[in-house]
Amino acid sequence: MNTLIGAAKSASFHRGSLGRAAANIPGTMAKPSDAAIRRLEKSARGASAGAYAPYSRFPVGAAVIGGSGRIYTGCNVENASYGLCNCAERTAVFSAVAAGERSLKAVAIYTPTPLPTAPCGACRQVINEFGPDALVISVCDSKNRVETKLSALLPAAFGPGDLA
């Protein structure tokens, strides 16, 4: 389910690429309602206002729907020691986990770009820990948006089951 919706149907992600679905993904979670997805996207857009991005000047917002149905937000937080920066997606996931969530239904990422931007590899791996079959929605400043499953963005992912 890799779907680009918007004015430029041939547009692609700014970073990353879509892969094939992984074969070892456990059961699927029901897709959130259209209303929940609209709230999630709005929350991701709003979260970007809190970004601390003095170096990249690229404020990103993210929001996740936990297994409970509650929405958690996050923004990117940069640091003068660049390796210590934290992406918006991971901030949102960590907030959800700190609140007691142990599963994710969906993730929305907002970037101030003309085309949707996919989560980076580190964020994909963190999302996989709690939502291997999560819906991933990327939105931007235009009407373009992408909906896909994490399993398409991170095929054959390494996860908790690989540590047995």
Catalytically active residues are: 89
How far is 163 from 158, CA to CA, in rounded Å? Answer: 9
CA 117-127-10 angle, 5° bins: 25
Nearest one of 100, 95, 93, 96 to 136, comparing CA atoms: 93
CB 77 within 8 A of CB 52: yes
- At position 55, the amino acid (one-letter code) is Y
